[in-house]
Chains A and B, each alone.
Chain A
Amino acid sequence: GQSLEQPSEVTAVEGAIVQINCTYQTSGFYGLSWYQQHDGGAPTFLSYNALDGLEETGRFSSFLSRSDSYGYLLLQELQMKDSASYFCAVRSYNQGGKLIFGQGTELSVKP
């Protein structure tokens, strides 16, 4: 089977750096994606890692270690608008390439 684990809640202050971890168990792992969802909104794509290492997109970075079945999303210079839920999702070719989402981490950014 497949499973993903991420913290349910994280709180940080404006301007800070926060890291949201994701560990996964799956066979036929292909890549790890991150999606952001604001309250009442739809999930939107943030990043995708297929290879080990860090991918940077502006204030957001995502990291993957395939050997450790582990990844994280790093948010820098936090802003109030970053308050949202963040989902990691794995893509497995044993599952026809469909995305399996984690339960999400609710990030609260305080002033």
Chain B
Amino acid sequence: DAGVIQSPRHEVTEMGQEVTLRCKPISGHNSLFWYRQTMMRGLELLIYFNNNVPIDDSGMPEDRFSAKMPNASFSTLKIQPSEPRDSAVYFCASSLKGPSYQETQYFGPGTRLLVL
């Protein structure tokens, strides 16, 4: 398996522009997570989906952020308009959620976003 795939790996954009991050989870996994990592705030969960349905978006910072999962093999995280404080590494992770809570999350390589 190729693992979790994210694109782009690096993104540099100007303040006010729209940014779209993409994620392809591991085939067969039924849960998908979007995280943001910064030095100041650490690793934060933004939103997660179970069976393509958003379960918890309490970590989404504000209305400028939105996420979709139109099918089991694709998800997007969109920032519109982007601001310099959105600069971070954005990770997508997927897991196979079973009857127990012992589930391993597999992280993608991340998208390094810089908003100028």
Binding site for B on A (CB under 8 A): 30-31, 41-45, 48, 50, 87, 91, 93, 95-104
Contacts and interface: CB of A to CB of B under 8 A. Distances in A.
Interface size class of B (residues with CB under 8 A): 20 to 34
Given A42-B108, A43-B91, A43-B107, A48 B55 contact: no
B43 A97 contact: no
B48 A42 contact: no
26 contacts: A30-B101, A31-B101, A31-B102, A41-B109, A42-B108, A42-B110, A43-B91, A43-B105, A43-B107, A45-B104, A45-B106, A48-B102, A48-B104, A50-B101, A50-B102, A95-B56, A97-B97, A98-B33, A98-B48, A98-B56, A100-B45, A101-B42, A101-B44, A102-B42, A104-B42, A104-B43
A106 B98 CA distance: 32
Contacts of A42: 91, 107-110
